[in-house]
Amino acid sequence: MINVGLEDVEFIKYATVSKIDPILSSVREKLDLLRKTLQAITNVDFSNEEALHHWKQIVVHHRSLTERLDRTPDFTIAIIDYFTHVHPIMTAPTTMDQTVLTKLQRFANTDFLTGIYNRHFFDESLNKELARSSRNKSRLSLLFFDINNFKALNDNHGHQKGDQMLRHIATMIKSSLRTHDIPCRYGGDEFICILPDTHYFFALVIAERIRRSVAESAATLVPAPDLSLSYGIATYPLDSDKPEDLIRVCDIRLYESKVEYIERRKGSLVERRDYPRIKTPGAGGILFKTNLEKRDVTMLDISPGGISFCCPQAIEAGSMFQMQLFLKPPFSTAWVTVEPCHLQRQTGGEYRIGGRLADINFV
């Protein structure tokens, strides 16, 4: 069987494998389509491996033409120019049906193994979406996933099982996103998603939904692997307005998430909450006990399900309170409705209060 690695081919632009023509339903069939298409254009017989090799070079050549022409040429031009000038094996190109060429052009934007967008398409899309966010003065979040213990899964169950897990997780990620979100395979066992018009907090909600769905789905797989994800999030413009810096921030937060995962595995970190908390150093807020009575609080952390803060006075558990939070990047000022559930007196006399987050609205 042909072993297709991470950067082997950039494939199908719009949808998962389950949503495209039956002819593209398997890796072998995709390679056959590629081979037959190139053979029809050049009138030269190729093996699947040779077709794959030429296709990678055609993708590179198309990018080179785009840079030199300062516009994006049709992929047909790149194919013909490659086989007449870069690797000259024909003199009279054959006309192809446009639907076949359209399928072929999609190859350049989609990851061959998982069927979601590839790294090249991510780079292009991030620049476009950041420009759009700048024009519209809107938020944009990046969501960076890494599979925990993926090497062990490969070592214990084989690379075919590893490939199956990559396809499975890609499908879970895509099914959890909105239609205008952009899921991509970034490299190896890493996935990155562009979430337009999305604040950091709501990106956190999406990330948790994906993390939970992947963990719960592992029980349905045979053999059932220890499958889990770590993630990092960065938000434009709160974290940065530069694509490379947003990716770097994502990577840093992903690393912190991996460290927490390792500590939990070792038993040195006990996590009793349903959602991981994001620390909010230096942030404060105002708790409105009544319309006339308010108290300053110091924020500790926040999650999609809860909030933790310090307050000089005790607060009755079980009641709903309005709070105005002054959060630093990647968050911003927000109004929340909180139900205090846990109260603990600290050494200095303050009270540490944990509560359920009933509602949140960012300014």
Tell me the residue ranges of DSSP E strands in 226-348: 229-236, 278-279, 284-288, 294-302, 306-311, 321-326, 334-345
Q: What pTM does this model have?
A: 0.64
Which among 22, 21, 31, 90 is positioned nearest to 56, based on CA atoms?
31
106: number of Cβ within 10 Å? 18
Specify if 271 maps to a domain: no
Residues 82 and 28 placed together within one structural domain of the fold: yes
pLDDT tens digits, one per residue of 39-78:
877 778 888 888 888 988 988 898 888 888 888 887 778 8
pLDDT one-digit tens code per residue, 180-224:
999 999 999 999 999 999 988 889 889 988 998 898 887 777 666
The Cα–Cα gap between 149 and 120 comes to 26
| 159 and 262 assigned to the same domain | yes
Which residues are 295's β-sheet partners? 287
CATH code where residue 166 lies: 3.30.70.270
**Nearest-5° angle of CA 335, CA 336, CA 338?**
155
CA distance 255 to 19: 34
Kindly report the three-state secondary structure assignment for every residue of 161-208.
Answer: HHHHHHHHHHHHHHHHCCCCCEEEEEECCEEEEEEECCCHHHHHHHHH
Residue 4 counted as domain residue: no
Q: Are residues 124 and 260 in the same domain?
A: yes
CATH of the domain at 292: 2.40.10.220
| Percent of the chain at pLDDT exceeding 70 | 80
Boundary-marking domain end, from 111, 133, 157: 111
Q: Does residue 272 form part of some domain?
A: no
CA distance linking residue 104 with residue 260, whole number of Å: 43
Task: Judge if 284 and 246 occupy the same domain.
Answer: no
Task: Give the pLDDT confidence of 119-155 residue by residue, as tens digits.
Answer: 989 999 999 999 999 999 999 999 999 999 888 888 8
b/e per residue 227-257 (b: at least 16 CB within 10 A)? bebbbbbbbbbbbbeebeebbebbbebbeeb
1: in domain: no
Query: For 157-190, what is each residue's pLDDT tens digit?
Result: 888 888 988 999 999 999 999 999 999 999 999 9
User: What domain count does the chain have?
Assistant: 3
When pLDDT is averaged across residues 91-113 and rounded to a whole number, the result is 68
Taking Cα atoms as reference points, which of 97, 116, 118 lies closest to residue 108?
118
Domain, as residue range, for 192: 119-266
Please report whether residue 2 resides in a domain: no
Q: Are residues 141 and 256 in the same domain?
A: yes
Among residues 62, 92, 111, the one where a domain terminates is 111
